[in-house]
Chain A
Amino acid sequence: MKLEEKLFLLTYKHDKQSHITIRDNNICLTKCGDQWGRPCTTFCPANVYSWDGEKTTASYENCVECTSCLTGCPYHNIDWRLPRGGYGVQYRNG
């Protein structure tokens, strides 16, 4: 089963503002690209992060708030904050 189909099963309450910011795309381009190959584009279980050749895009609407990017970004270059109260993913089973 594709990840997109799985994410489609989830209940989200979407906020208009993103809770994720990439601090410095230059780090993604140079240091992380050379040393690590931008692991956020693979380890994120909800495919939030993608690299378009110039910058990292964060599709925050997909985020399931697992918090793995807080340790998984080798340069602590992802500014991930808790979504505002009541927003974000809402697990029905858990």
Chain B
Amino acid sequence: MSTGEKFDAIVVGAGPAGSAAAYTMAKAGLSVVLIERGEYPGAKNVMGGVMYGRMLADLIPTFAAEAPIERVIVEERLWITTDDSAVTLGHKTAAAHGDIPNAFTVLRAKFDRWFASKAEEAGAFLIPATVVEDLIVRDGKVAGVRTGRPDGDLYADAVVLCDGVHSFLAKKAGLQTREIAPHEVALAVKEIITLPPEVIQERFNVGEGEGVTIELYGAVTQEMGGYAFIYTNRDSLSVGVGALMSHFMRTKVTPNGLLERVKQHPLVRPLLAGGQVAEYLAHAIPEGGYRAMPRLYGDGVLVAGDAAMMVNGLHREGSNLAMTAGRLAGETVIEANRRGDVSTASLASYRRRLEESFVLKDLRKYQHLPEFVDRHPELLRIYPGLVNLAVHEMLTVDGMPKRDKQRKIWKAITRRRPLWRLIGDAYRAWKVMR
């Protein structure tokens, strides 16, 4: 490739959003460059580990036969914890998942490499180990990118920014005009803990290729807004915990200390016994939601995925929003390309496409949640405590009549949280989640 060459599109970042965009455009015959700063796609990319099939199948219908899937999720568990107990809830299904698994675990270093290779097969040109340092702007229009390589200027009609959380390029494009606030970002740390597949299957009560997710709320996050998780991979577990940056800053809890406490929780420890830590990972997660999103497009430029705050934290979704947004960005550019017009007005259909999809519908639904979690971390201590207290009391058979038990439980609850506050909390929670 010679310097100054011009393409139909440049995609920055080979994560789920970037590879989806590059794949979509290359498949339609556009000339596409996909630039990745890691030595290989996935080298810098971290997530808890659960991905969703439908949005990937929208791009690659036969992915299940070839993608590096760790385990197909057949059971999801929710643990509401205190320091030494948990009330648990879950859903397990024996129903066949068909050709498209609903949810499955992945290891991103492997998955992202595969996904980017699909974009390459479709005709995209992958340039790894390359940082985009700046955008080339001509007459107010994004006309290309300046990479860190010597003579590394590349030009294109459209540039799709998929450079992740804290996108430098969305700022440079003028799409992100303010600093992201500490309550709009979570910090998560996790470990890959290796265990033999048979041990995982026995411990989590699943068959070969099947997996479990566990989300832990309550005491495990030490009064910070967030949750911990355990996800099963083929021969390892992804064990991690995340909380809002604003809460890490205030509490001075260290992320590694928090994770070590989770691993020592009496209900968690037996699941990890005998495992070897293979890798330690950390990443920021954009949790600001709808109200913290940048403008989604400009003259010759679009933004998708984490770079555009496309995470639904409550539902553990992110990579699926990224893939759908990447695909829609790609489709928008394809249309603009055929019209020969990549101006702001022409790219405006990107937003409309997102509005019509689950991406912006879901983000809008939960637009007040990030602020709520930031302001009320105490609820994640109080309510798990109350739930555990109530259930523990009901299950303790000590000769006390059940009606007396109910009274005792109610008294204990209202002593810790008066009735008017319970009603207020319920109302506020309903308001941000309805």
Contact = CB atoms under 8 A, between A and B. Distances in A.
A70 B187 contact: no
Interface in B266-314: 277-284
A67 B166 contact: yes
A85 B281 CA distance: 20
A67 to B, nearest CB: 5
Nearest to B194: A93
A91 B41 CA distance: 10
Nearest to A91: B109
B281 A91 contact: yes
A94 interface: yes
Contacts, number: 142
Contacts of A86: 37-39, 128-130
Nearest to B236: A93
Given A71-B245, A91-B281, A92-B279, A82 B109 contact: no
A23 B149 CA distance: 26
Contact of B284 (A6, A42, A68, A93): A68
A70 to B, nearest CB: 5
Contacts of B184: 71
A76 B284 contact: no
B128 A10 contact: no
B46 A1 contact: no
B177 to A, nearest CB: 15
Nearest to B128: A86
B44 interface: yes
Interface residues of B, number: 54
A6 B280 contact: yes
A13 B40 CA distance: 13
Nearest to B113: A94
Given A66-B187, A67-B166, A76 B179 contact: yes
Contacts of A85: 37, 128-131, 147-149
B60 interface: no
B273 to A, nearest CB: 14
B191 interface: yes
B185 interface: yes
A42 B44 CA distance: 22
A64 interface: yes
B46 A84 contact: no
A1 B41 CA distance: 29
Contacts of B395: none
A81 B371 CA distance: 28
Interface string B30-53: 000000011100111111000000
B321 to A, nearest CB: 19
B192 A93 contact: yes
Contacts of A93: 107-110, 192, 236, 278-279, 281
Given A6-B280, A67-B283, A82-B37, A42 B245 contact: no
Q: Which of B131, B168, B278 has the most CB of A within 10 A?
A: B131
Contacts of B279: 9-10, 91-93
A58 to B, nearest CB: 16
A43 interface: yes
B112 A71 contact: no
A10 B108 CA distance: 15
Q: Which 3 A-B pairs have the closest CB atoms?
A: A86-B129, A94-B108, A94-B109
5 contacts: A46-B282, A65-B44, A70-B166, A71-B166, A90-B43
Interface of A: 1, 3, 6-7, 9-10, 13, 36-37, 39, 42-43, 45-46, 64-68, 70-72, 74, 76, 82-86, 88-94
Given A10-B279, A72-B249, A91-B108, 16 more contacts: A3-B254, A9-B280, A43-B245, A43-B255, A45-B189, A68-B248, A70-B166, A70-B180, A70-B284, A86-B39, A88-B44, A89-B44, A90-B39, A91-B42, A91-B45, A94-B110
